[in-house]
Structure 1
Amino acid sequence: MNSAFETTPLVSVIVVAADSGLTLRECVGRVMACSVPLELILVDNGSADGIPQAIERAMQHESRLRPVYNHANLGFGPAVNRGAAQARANVLLILNPDCMLDDASLRRLLDLLKAHPKAGVIGAVVCDEQGQPDRASYRRDPYLKRALRSFLGQGKGVNIGGEMPGEPVQAEAVSGALMVMPRVAFEHLKGFDEEYFLHCEDLDLCRRARDAGYQVWLAGDVRVLHGKGGSSRHRPVFVSWHKHRGMWRWFRKFDPAARNPLVSAVVWLGVWAHFLLKIPGQWLRLLRRRPAPAASDA
């Protein structure tokens, strides 16, 4: 056991797994390879793949790994909240199980947090395997008017167009795939709103952080590989349901347009009509990904 990590860590990394697949092993391995004093709180949301348990067995002598087992899928935000309640560090890093963190990126994020004492949330530019940034890394509040402009391709919408910044900039919202927060800010905000199950809870947290007087920053010079949902690909309709449910909750909480009953009714119909229209394509893509049955020798 490495005594260097028996003292209070600088950062508590919280990873939530839910049948996240083999990428979870790599994610954990990358975090544990960092030289920054840290602890990794691995919160398992009732996975059936056995990978969190296998990671625990393989690292049974590693004091920095702290597994937390939920015996059901509580949702992303509730699981992070339970992980944060176990954290010992003054800094939290919320990391998706398909995000690949490295030591240099972690150190840069911690330096930015130190340089901006009013920061409540710091995100990074999450990229796909081709290095293309996810536009969700740098967003604005998804007001109805902005969402309509995005849909129609007119003016400034929810995603901020143009080149992704190459330096730190203030933002309205960053991706929940990677978030660094002072623990005091997380606790002041009472963590994630647990009424969201999956999706939009990051938008909610960023909005509440700004409303509470904190700043939200995007570390434009930090690029992190994000595999885009290992567990989500196997349950596209389930994920889509909760994404649309989250969109509706955010609208009801924060958009002034929700005060108009007629507008609210139209938005409700639009959200769920969009959900229903997406189901056939999601099922078709799922069927195409399934392996073909083995040929008979007969």
Structure 2
Amino acid sequence: MNLAIVAVVVTYQSSSTIEDCLQRLRDARGIAEIRVVDNGSVDDTVDILQRHASHDPRVRFIANPDNPGFAAANNQGVADSSSPWLAFINPDVMVEADTLAVLCERAQPLGDCLLGVEQVDEHGRADDAVRRRDPDFLAMLRSPGSGSKLALARDPQVAMQYVPAISGAVMLMPRALFDRIGGWDAGYRLHAEDLDLCRRVRGAGGVVAIANDLQVLHVRGVSSRSRPFFVEWHKHRGLWRYFQRFEARQRSLPVRVAVWGAIWAHALLQVPRLLRAA
């Protein structure tokens, strides 16, 4: 079976990390194509992309004049490639030389699957959000604190841990599955689109899992730090869209109204923290 991988990277103001991210991808085993879609950066990101593209024919980039969102940009990158395996990589993720190739080899016998890996920061701390459950909006209403937590614990007893959802920072899946479920939902601008993709993979009969013994370095949120209000707005907007797509039809009108209120009340509660950090 052809295990060639296209790495799809979406950038926005990513000049501080995209150099290392692309060099790691270019050096990685199994990478046949690299597609970078830039969402209107005004820093040096596009200059870096041009330099890498001039040195490596596998690298091509699309420079969007505006920012259509993470999901839409990922779809653009996939459409401009042909490899049978798709790896979605954040611009602040640094892969090891064999990580994606090994993950692809493990994915092949699973058939329809969406796989991720462990993610650690610069200090070696694991990201709790790598393994996730589906959002439970009734639990959020009953207990706004604990009910909103999606992180699942790592199971040290297994190499491949099956979970409801994984982080969108590193994802690998077969193109055939991606095409069958219709790709990323471009109605999301930022956040919750990865939860949506995982749920639709499972709905199509696929499995979602984390390879616990593989890991990447994730610097985390470099572009998000420059626009915290934008990120928080779209994070909560994404949750509301997710609820509408997967749960709203099963809930009464009072519950739908309560969920809407809870989501946006939580958004308002973030404002003092964002102002202090500004």
* Stretches of structure 1 lacking an aligned partner (at least 5 in a row): 1-7, 287-298
Q: Percent identity?
A: 38
Displacement of 1:9 after TM fit?
Answer: 8.0
Displacement of 1:20 after TM fit?
Answer: 1.6
Distance 1:65 1:165 in 2: 38
The aligned counterpart of 2:234 is: 242
Distance 2:263 2:109 in 1: 40
State the secondary structure of the residue aligned to 2:87. Answer: strand
1:202 lines up with 2:194 in the alignment: yes
Return the letter of the residue paired with 2:225.
R
Distance 2:27 2:138 in 1: 44
Q: Over residues 48-83 of structure 1, what are the superposed CA-to-partner deviations in whole Å (9 max), with x where a residue is unaligned?
A: 013222331354131011111111011000000011
- Among 225, 245, 255, which residue is 1:233 paired with? 225
Q: Over residues 247-270 of structure 1, what are the superposed CA-to-partner deviations in whole Å (9 max), with x where a residue is unaligned?
A: 111112112686211111111111
State the secondary structure of the residue aligned to 2:54. Answer: coil
Distance 2:158 2:127 in 1: 14
The aligned counterpart of 2:55 is: 61
The aligned counterpart of 1:158 is: 150
The aligned counterpart of 2:109 is: 115
Q: 1:150 to 1:34 in 2, by over 3 A?
A: farther
1:99 lines up with 2:93 in the alignment: yes
The aligned counterpart of 1:39 is: 33
Return the letter of the residue paired with 1:138.
R
In the TM superposition, 1:121-140 aligns within 5 A as 121-140=114-133
1:80 lines up with 2:71 in the alignment: no
* Stretches of structure 2 lacking an aligned partner (at least 5 in a row): none
Verify the 8 A CA contact 1:9 1:39 in the aligned structure 2.
no
Runs of 4+ in 1 over 3 A off after TM superposition: 145-154, 161-166
Distance 1:215 1:256 in 2: 24
TM-score when normalising by structure 2: 0.92
Please say which structure displays the higher CA radius of gyration. 1
Q: 1:51 to 1:164 in 2, by over 3 A?
A: farther
Distance 2:269 2:82 in 1: 45
Bigger shift: 266-275 or 47-56? Answer: 47-56
Distance 2:43 2:145 in 1: 42
The aligned counterpart of 1:179 is: 171
Q: 1:125 to 1:257 in 2, by over 3 A?
A: farther
Distance 1:241 1:184 in 2: 33
TM-score when normalising by structure 1: 0.86
In the TM superposition, 1:276-295 aligns within 5 A as 276-286=268-278
- Among 65, 68, 75, which residue is 1:71 paired with? 65
Distance 2:15 2:233 in 1: 21
The aligned counterpart of 2:181 is: 189
Q: Over residues 75-117 of structure 1, what are the superposed CA-to-partner deviations in whole Å (9 max), with x where a residue is unaligned?
A: 0000000110011100000000001111221122111111312
Displacement of 1:207 after TM fit?
Answer: 0.3
